Amino acid sequence: MTEHFPDWLHAPWQQLARTWGQGRLPHALLLAGPAGIGKHLLARKLTSLLLCQQPDADSGACGRCPACTWLRAGSHPDLSELVPEEPGKAIRIDQVRALGVELGMTSHAGRYKVAVIAPADAMNVNAANSLLKTLEEPTASTLLILLTASPGRLPATVRSRCQQLRIPGPATGQALDWLQGQGIERALAERCLQIAGGAPLAAAQLAASDSLDLRDRWLDELVAVFDGRLDPVRVADDWAGAHEAGALQWWQSALQALIRWQQAGEAPGEARLVQMLRQITEKVDCRQLFELSDRITMAVISLGSGLNRQLLLEDLLIDWARLAGKPPARSTAAGR
C-alpha cells in the first residue's frame, strides 16, 4: 500500500498538529472510531511529528532526520507499542507495568517518549488499573495514545484521564476514491468496502489478501452442500486444516445476513451473497438459522480445545444439508 494520508483524517490531524503547535498536547489521547478507518495512521503521523528532529506542524515529520529513519525501520527507542501478545487475546498487567517503567525513563533521543496501546479495550481489568497509575502521574514529554473502536469498553476511570478524539469514518464516495488511489479497481473496491462495513483500510487489506477467493469458494461449497450436490464430509475435510476458524466465522456472518434478510427484509449488500442465498432464505426458517448460528458460535469457541475439528465441521455441515429437507450427498470418494 502506498503512503497516502486519507482525506477524511485531515481534519483530526490538523486538530492534533495545532494542539501540538500550541504546546497543549495532553499526556494521554484516546482516539476512538470504527475499526479499519485509519486510527493507526493518525497515531503514526502524530508519533512521527513528536519524534522527528525537524518537525513542522503543517507537513508533519521531515522524513529525513535520523529519528524519522529509525521510526521507519521500526527501531525508534522512544516509541513503545502495546498490543496483545496474540491477536484477540488480552493486554496483560505485566505488559502495562513494563511500559510504565519504560515511560519513566528519560527519552533516548532527547525528545518525546510515545506509547501506543491498541486496541486499548483489550486491556484486562488489572492491566487497565495498572495503567491508571501511569495516567495519574505522567512524566514530562510523554504521550500515551490509546486506540479503540469501542471506548465504552474501557473503564470510565481510564477514559476520564484521556483527552478523547472521535475519528469519523469517510463517506462511501470518499472511501472508494481513496481505494482507487491505492490502485484497486472500482468494482473490487466496491465489493471489499461493502464486506468491510464501509471501513476503507479494512477493505484495502481484503482486496490485497486471498480471502475474497476463499469466501467465494466457501459460498459455492455451502450452496452445493445445501443443494445436495456436494458431500458435507468432503467440505469438512477441505475446511479442517488451515482455514476452519475463518470459514466458520464467515459462515456465521452469512447466516446473520440471512437472518437479517428474513426478519427485516434487509438484503445483504454483497450482490453475490444475495444471488447465492436467495433460494436458501426461501426454504429455511429463522428459528433453524438461529439454532445453527448458535452452534457455530460454540464451535468457534471450542476449536482451540482439542476437539476433533473434522467431526465438529462434519456435524455442522450435515445439519446444514438437512435444512434443505433432502438427504445430504455422499461422495464415494470419501469412502463413507
Q: Which stretch binds Zn ion (CB under 5 A): 66-74, 164-172, 200-208, 303-311?
A: 66-74
Burial class (CB in 10 A: 0-12, 13-18, 19+), 255: buried
Q: How far is the CB of 81 from Zn ion (least distance, A)?
A: 19
Find the part of the chain contacting Zn ion (CB under 5 A) among 54-62, 126-134, 136-144, 152-160. Answer: 54-62
CB of 56 to Zn ion, least distance (A): 9
Residue 111 C-beta: closest distance to Zn ion, Å: 10
Beta carbons within 10 angstroms of residue 246's beta carbon? 14
Complex with Zn ion: residue 48 or 281, whichever CB lies closer: 48
28, 68, 117, 192: which one binds Zn ion (CB under 5 A): 68
Stretch that binds Zn ion, among 55-63, 170-178, 185-193, 237-245 (CB under 5 A): 55-63
| Spatial contact of 5 and 182, defined as CB atoms under 8 Å apart | no
Residue at grid coordinates 491477536: 87
Identify the DSSP state of 168: P
Q: Which of 31, 49, 61, 254 binds Zn ion (CB under 5 A)?
A: 61
Closest distance of CB 309 from Zn ion, Å? 49
Cβ nearer to Zn ion, comparing 64 with 326: 64
Q: Indicate the residue among 67 and 167 with the shorter CB distance to Zn ion.
A: 67
Please report how close the Cβ of residue 109 comes to Zn ion at its closest, in angstroms.
11
- Interface with Zn ion in residues 176-235 (CB under 5 A): none
Task: Give the shortest CB-99-to-Zn ion separation in angstroms.
Answer: 24
Task: Fill in the amino acid letter for 112.
Answer: Y
Which spans in the chain are helix H?
A: 10-21, 39-51, 66-72, 93-104, 125-136, 156-159, 172-181, 186-195, 200-208, 211-226, 232-239, 244-264, 271-283, 286-302, 309-323
Q: Which three cell numbers stand for residue 187?
A: 468494482
* 52 is a site residue for Zn ion (CB under 5 A): yes
Alpha-carbon separation of residue 161 from 7, 136, 138, 205, 226 (angstroms): 29, 8, 11, 33, 53
List the 163-166 sheet strands across, edge first: 79-82, 113-117, 142-148, 28-32, 163-166
Is the CB of 78 or the CB of 314 nearer to Zn ion? 78
Interface residue list for Zn ion (CB under 5 A)? 52, 61-62, 65, 68
